[in-house]
Structures are given as structure tokens and as C-alpha cells.
Amino acid sequence: MSKELHTFEALTFAFSPGRFRTIASLEQVAGYLEQEWPTQPGPSCLRARKACKDAMADNLSNDEARAEFIAALGEIGISLDQRAEG
């Protein structure tokens, strides 16, 4: 039995020069924040982690958690790939 993902509009960002990552679910966000975050977690990263957990528990919308993740990326200087954002 497969578990339903908590999806949102996909976002793509460059995690290193010329290397892009696309994320489209809270589960992917949680994995990235916990296992691949490239720096010490700052305030925005911690808020994004909490927002992700809250949204997976249906206490926050997926889009609100997505916005917190985007803010966390911005805090460490990572911007979205505008070509992919459309």
C-alpha cells in the first residue's frame, strides 16, 4: 500500500553551480531539510521544518509550508530557477 504524498506546485533550485533539484512534496522537503541542507540550520530552516511537519499533520497548508521552504532557501542564498517556475 503506497502512502499519499503531500504535494504542491513543483519548485526547482540550483543546489550547486549547474546542478538543479526539483521538489514537489512535503516529504521531499522534509528529506532535503533533514539530510541535505548545506549549512547549519538557521531560523528560516527551522521554521520550514516545523511548517513541513505541521502541514503533514494537516495543521497548515502545503502551500504555506512550500513558502517557508522557499524562505529558507533564500536565507542561505539559493534562489529558485525562474525558467522552471514559468
**Residue pLDDT, tens place only, 7-62:** 999 999 988 888 899 999 999 999 999 999 988 999 999 999 999 999 999 999 99
Return the axis-axis angle of helices 43-56 and 62-75, rounded to nearest 10°: 160
Specify if 77 maps to a domain: yes
pLDDT at 2 over 90: no
Q: What pLDDT, on the 0 to 100 scale, is given for residue 83?
A: 58
Q: Domain range holding 23?
A: 7-85
Residue 1 lies in a domain: no
Q: How many domains does the chain have?
A: 1
Q: Is the pLDDT of residue 85 over 60?
A: no
- Identify which has the larger pLDDT, 36 or 83: 36
pLDDT for 82 equals 64
Query: Is 2 within the bounds of a domain?
Result: no
Q: Which triple of cell numbers denotes residue 51?
A: 511548517
